[in-house]
């Protein structure tokens, strides 16, 4: 026990010494607002947003899907994966979190990343395939753009041991996920602690890769400080759902939607249906993995009714529904503007009186030739769900070309609504 602690301490000291080394500082121009910057790309096939993170020595560039609700960075380390700088986190180390980890992992194969003894186990969750895989928690070099950071823990899974598909639903070539939740193992949390930075990150999802790169920024200098957008930014508290909502879901980002307006008319809903109840159900969650917003049935029904009424007032021509959407229109009857189709405007009225406005580019989707639908789906009811359910899940489609800055330390979200309204896109930031 004593000797293992000593070794542990020794390894930890070395890690700390290395952690200040920058790989190639010359690649990072001085004008750069902040070093921790990851490109955001949209996969045209799955519409999943992903980034690329360098891991290990030699460096492996691994594409990982961006998951606001994910707890950690995890990746498939089964095939053609080797790294000399890999340090498994031992079960008795402080770096092995007590929460959300599985008991000590052992392995009978030859030593390699993902096959070590007395190693802190992790749950690596892929919400797109709805599978959870056990993995090993390890420290290795992480490269965020050109900057090398050591001491970041991530989950490495030897996927070939399992029959179901660890990377199901991810963009082709992606081998893991980057979780950004309010959790101990999320990369922003670890970076903030390691570099003594306030825990903040900001992201802006591009509607297409053709109009340029956008970035995920981790650290104090977020996009919201950019001259272009600071005047459009509004702020609302991030709500912490204190209730246990499942083994992996308790650290997600919620905002407090008080009411919903469609073309200025308040949708007839009891406010209590939107707030988080005593069991942790309800509330409005933000997700980069859910593609289209999901509303629980009791919110969805009046919401769609309200939208259809205003659409009729605007003389939009309704056509047959195309599953999973209900409110569909002949796109030739809808005008176009900077902010997409000209349709009834949806306002989410938030705590503090601010409003998140959703225009056509974020509320509508083309489903086939000449048919555009309201891109919100019926998320079912509590009765049909055996686990926790939010009243509203805002999906990636609703977030495109909207700037979101998560000030986790102060529990605040700054948001821009659609940048398109100001003739700006995420790639301008």
Ligand X SMILES: *[C@@H]1O[C@H](CO)[C@@H](O)[C@H](O)[C@H]1NC(C)=O
Give the number of residues written for the chain. Answer: 429
Cα atoms in the Cβ-side hemisphere of radius 13 Å centred on 229 = 29
The least CB distance from residue 87 to ligand X, in Å, is 14
Q: How far is the CB of 159 from ligand X (least distance, A)?
A: 17
- Whichever of 140 and 221 has its CB closer to ligand X, that residue is 140
What's the closest the beta carbon of residue 117 comes to ligand X, in angstroms? 4
Smallest separation, CB 314 to ligand X (Å): 23
Residue 107 or 322: the one with the smaller Cβ distance to ligand X is 107
Our CB check for ligand X shows the closer of 21 and 208 to be: 208
Q: How far is the CB of 115 from ligand X (least distance, A)?
A: 5
SS (H, E, C) the chain: CHHHHHHHHHHHHHHHHHCCCCCCHHHCCCCCCCCCEEEEEECCCCCCEEEEEEECCCCEEEEEEEECCCCCEEEECCCCCCCCCCEECECCCCCCCCCCEEEEECCCCCCECCECCCEEEEEEEECCCCEEEEEEEEEEEEEECCEEEEEEEEEEECHHHCCCCCCCCCCCCCCEEEECCCCCCCHHHHHHHHHCCCCEEEEECCCCHHHCCEEEEECCCCHHHCHHHHCCCEEEEEECCCCCCCCCCCCCCEECEEEEEECCEECCCCHHHCCCCCCCCCCEEECCCCCCEEECHHHHHHHHHHHHHHHHHCCCCEECCCCCCCCEEEHHHCCEECCEECCCCEEEEECCCCEEEECHHHHEEEEECCEEEECEEECCCHHHCCCCCCCEEECHHHHCCEEEEEECCCCEEEEEEEHHHHCCCHHHC
Q: Closer to ligand X at the Cβ: 147 or 420?
A: 420
- CB 83, min distance to ligand X, A: 15
Q: Which is nearer to ligand X, 226 or 355 (CB)?
A: 226
* Residues 396 and 47 sit within 8 Å (Cβ to Cβ): yes
Q: Could you tell me the smallest distance in angstroms from the CB atom of residue 422 to ligand X?
A: 9
Cα(138)–Cα(152) distance, integer angstroms? 8
Nearer to ligand X, 115 or 217 (CB): 115
Minimum CB separation of residue 203 from ligand X in Å reads 21
Q: Using CB under 6 A as the criterion, which residues of the chain lie in contact with ligand X when the complex forms?
A: 106-108, 111, 115-117, 423
Distance (Å, whole) CA 70 – CA 323? 28
Judged by beta carbon, residue 139 or residue 245, the one nearer ligand X is 139
Nearer to ligand X, 83 or 290 (CB): 83
Identity of the residue, 410 or 423, whose beta carbon is nearer to ligand X in the bound complex: 423
CB of 106 to ligand X, least distance (A): 6
- Closer residue to ligand X, CB minimum distance, 103 or 353: 103
Residue 148 beta carbon to ligand X: minimum distance, rounded to whole angstroms:
27
């Amino acid at each position: 026990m004593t000797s293992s602690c000593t070794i542990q301490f020794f390894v930890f000291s070395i890690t700390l010494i290395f952690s200040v080394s920058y790989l190639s500082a010359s690649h990072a121009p001085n004008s750069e607002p902040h070093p921790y910057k990851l490109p955001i790309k949209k996969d045209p096939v799955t519409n999943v947003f992903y980034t690329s993170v360098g891991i290990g020595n030699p460096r492996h560039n691994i594409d990982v899907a961006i998951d606001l609700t994910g707890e950690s960075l995890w990746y498939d380390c089964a095939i053609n994966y080797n790294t000399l700088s890999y340090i498994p986190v031992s079960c008795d180390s402080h770096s092995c979190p007590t929460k959300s980890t599985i008991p000590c992992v052992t392995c009978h194969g030859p030593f390699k990343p993902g096959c070590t003894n007395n190693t802190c186990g992790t749950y690596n969750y892929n919400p797109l395939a709805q599978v959870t895989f056990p993995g090993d928690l390890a420290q290795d070099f992480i490269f965020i753009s050109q900057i090398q950071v050591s001491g970041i823990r991530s989950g490495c899974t030897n996927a070939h041991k399992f029959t179901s598909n660890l990377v199901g639903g991810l963009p082709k070539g992606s081998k893991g996920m980057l979780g950004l939740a309010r959790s101990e193992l999320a990369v922003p949390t670890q970076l903030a602690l390691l570099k003594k930075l306030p825990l903040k990150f900001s992201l802006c999802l591009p509607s297409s890769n053709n109009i340029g790169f956008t970035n995920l920024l981790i650290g104090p200098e977020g996009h919201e400080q950019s001259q272009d957008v600071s005047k459009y930014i509004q702020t609302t508290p991030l709500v912490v759902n204190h209730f246990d909502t499942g083994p992996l879901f308790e650290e997600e980002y919620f905002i407090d939607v008080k009411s919903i307006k469609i073309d200025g008319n308040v949708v007839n809903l009891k406010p209590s249906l939107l707030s988080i109840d005593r069991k942790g159900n309800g509330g409005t969650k933000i997700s980069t993995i859910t593609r289209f917003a999901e509303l629980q049935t009791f919110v969805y029904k009046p919401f769609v009714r309200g939208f259809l009424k205003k659409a009729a007032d605007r003389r939009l021509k309704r056509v047959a529904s195309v599953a999973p959407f209900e409110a569909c229109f002949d796109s030739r009857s809808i005008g176009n503007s900077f902010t997409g189709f000209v349709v009834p405007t949806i306002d989410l009225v938030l705590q503090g009186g601010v409003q998140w406005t959703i225009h056509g580019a974020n509320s509508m989707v083309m489903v086939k030739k000449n048919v555009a639908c309201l891109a919100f789906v019926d998320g079912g009811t509590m009765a049909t769900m055996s686990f926790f359910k939010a009243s509203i899940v805002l999906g990636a489609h609703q977030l495109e070309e909207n700037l979101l800055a998560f000030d986790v330390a102060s529990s605040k979200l700054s948001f821009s609504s659609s940048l398109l309204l100001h003739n700006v896109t995420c790639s301008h930031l």
